[in-house]
Each structure stands twice: as structure tokens, then as C-alpha cells.
Amino acid sequence: MAQITQADIENRLKTFIDPNVETDLVSAKSIKSINVDGADVSIKLELGYPAKKHLDEYKLAVLEHLKTLDGIGTVTIDITINILSHAVQQGLKPLPGIKNIIAVASGKGGVGKSTTAVNLALALAAEGAKVGILDADIYGPSIPTMLGQSGFPESEDGKTMLPKMSFGLQTNSIGYLVDTSQPMIWRGPMVTGALQQLLKETRWTDLDYLIVDLPPGTGDIQLTLSQQIPVSGAVIVTTPQDIALLDAQRGLAMFEKVNVPVLGIVENMSVHICSQCGHEEAIFGSGGGAAMAEKNQVPLLGALPLDKDIRLNADSGRPTVVSDPDGRSAEIYREIARKMTAKLALKAKDFSSKFPNIVIQNT
């Protein structure tokens, strides 16, 4: 019987497809080391995205894949998570305390974008990442209600705000700073100024990801975010309905124009399941998100059902991922969150923080 070699192991791992990155372990550069001792093998893998709840299942899948090698003995697999900062628009660099900013956008309102953004942020935290969420919808902030938060953020120096904590998330919103009944009758420059303040005057701490919940459309806020704020990637939320897809297409095109990579599309309200009889019905049509993803050559990250519990949980200040963590909807949010950040992990890295500051002085 031929002895197992390192090349044998590497070739076998070339045929294991990471379900989140959707490419093999070698291409994803996930293999850090392979050690062979007779028939026994030890492998160190590194994932560039949070997957705490998925690691046991992932490790078992790799083990099962390697077991088919003839003559292999004991296999030991060690998996670590290493979330890096990724490249942003040209001329910008990541903000202090934030490795990656991910924008969650939609072309139109009413598609469940804010609910999706909150649950994705909570899903990333559940998978082991340090996460913040910024409510960039100045005219209609909804994050405070969804996270059960109110009141002014604290300030230790009178100049910056401490993020309000909710379910392990660092959060900020204009909704913390104004009365809920007060209309925001502001012109564009005031709105974009408020966004800049919320982002840059909040003391975000050691975040792997800051999720930015954008208002619907492609107006001043979106342009400010895409041109002046370092964004690592964007996610488009839509329903299968043709009208929603048309507007979502505009949002996707805007990010492409300013060189912000679109990490994928989330199809919300994809199918309604009757709570009484279990009958499934595609109220808003079907296949729209998949067709849009294929047309634009971006991934369809996942599809969420039209479920009244998702709405009730958000309205009550305990979103689905925390109120029903073992439910199917929470599982889908975690799957989408892993795929979203796995796609980002394949993008170019940002190494600006690695370079020393060089100061030239006349001596």
C-alpha cells in the first residue's frame, strides 16, 4: 500500500468545495499547513469569515471527504477564524476601529431591508464576529425599535458618542438623538452631514464588520456612502416582485459604478407558508432574485420566507435571530451572513494599517 503524501492530501482538498465560499479549499487559500506522519494526517485550516456555529459540521464534512483516501489513518483538523480588513474604494482607507463596512441596500422601500440588516448583523455576532450596525436612514430610522433601544448615546469626552449596546451589537442611529414623533425636515447636505457624524463621531471598537442600513433608493445618502465612506462591499435586498427588482437593479448598478463590490442578493418574502395548513404560495412571484443574480453575475445569498413571526419579532425589539435562534428563519439568516462574509473574504485585502508612517524631517 502506497504511503499517503502531502500532495495526496492537497489534491483531495482541491475537490472539497467550501459551501460558503463556493470554491475549493486550495483556491480559497484556506489551507495553512498539512503534516503527514505515516498514515496519520494533521491539517490546519483558516477561514476568513465567521462560522462559529458551523465549524463542527464543516470539520466533519472535511473528515468525511478525506476518509475516502486509500490508506489514510487518523486525521486531525484544526480550524481557526481570521477576519481581515478588505480593500475599499480608491482614495479611501478603512476607518479606525472598523475592519469592514458592509452596506445593506434596496432600490425601494417595503422589501424588509432593515429587518434583514438587523438579523444579518445579529447572525454575524452569533457566528463569532464583532459587529456594529449603523442606521443610515435619517428620515425613517427603525433600528432603535427593532433592537428595543431608546435614549441618547453616552459621551465621555463631549465630542464623540459611545455606541449603544444591544444583543452584543454596537449600534447608533439618528433615532437615538431625536424625538420619535419629530419629523426630519432636512435638506440633502444636512442629511449627509448627519450620516458622516454618526459614522465618524461614534467610538466603534474593534469591529470586524459594521453593517450600514441604507435608506431605500439611490439618493444623497447612497452617493455619500459610496463616494466618501470606505465600503468593503454591498448587499442588495429585494422581493421577487418585478417592480422591486427594477429598483434593486438601479441600486446594484450604482455600487458597480463607484467600484463597491456587490457581495450578493437577498430575496426577501420569497414564499408565504400558511400557518394553518402549510400551503406554500409565491405571493410576490418566484425566481426574481435568482434571475437578477444570474443577469448581474453575483451570488444569490439566500431567500427568506414571508413569515409574520419575523415581522412580530422585529416590532417587539427582539429580532428573529435572538428570539428564535434555533428556528429555520434564524438558520437562513446565519447561512446568508456566512456566505456574504465568505464572498468578501475572497476580495482583495487592505494592508494600509501594516505600513509604518514615514515622517521626513530636516535635521
> Which residues belong to the annotated binding site for ATP?
107-114
Task: Note whether 82 and 341 are within 8 A (CB).
Answer: no
DSSP string, 291-331: HHHHHHT--EEEE--B-HHHHHHHHTT--HHHHSTTSHHHH
Nearest to 235 by CA among 174, 304, 282, 326: 304
Binding site per annotation, positions: 107-114
Calpha distance 209→359 (Å, rounded):
31
Instruction: Provide the edge-to-edge strand list for the sheet that holds 31-37.
Output: 31-37, 40-47, 75-81
Please tell me whether residue 222 adopts helix, strand or coil conformation: helix
Identity of residue 113: K
Query: In sequence order, which residues have a C-beta less than 8 Å from that of residue 329 and are 6 or more positions away?
Result: 304, 305, 307, 309, 310, 320
First-to-last CA distance in the chain?
71
CB atoms within 10 A of CB 157: 8
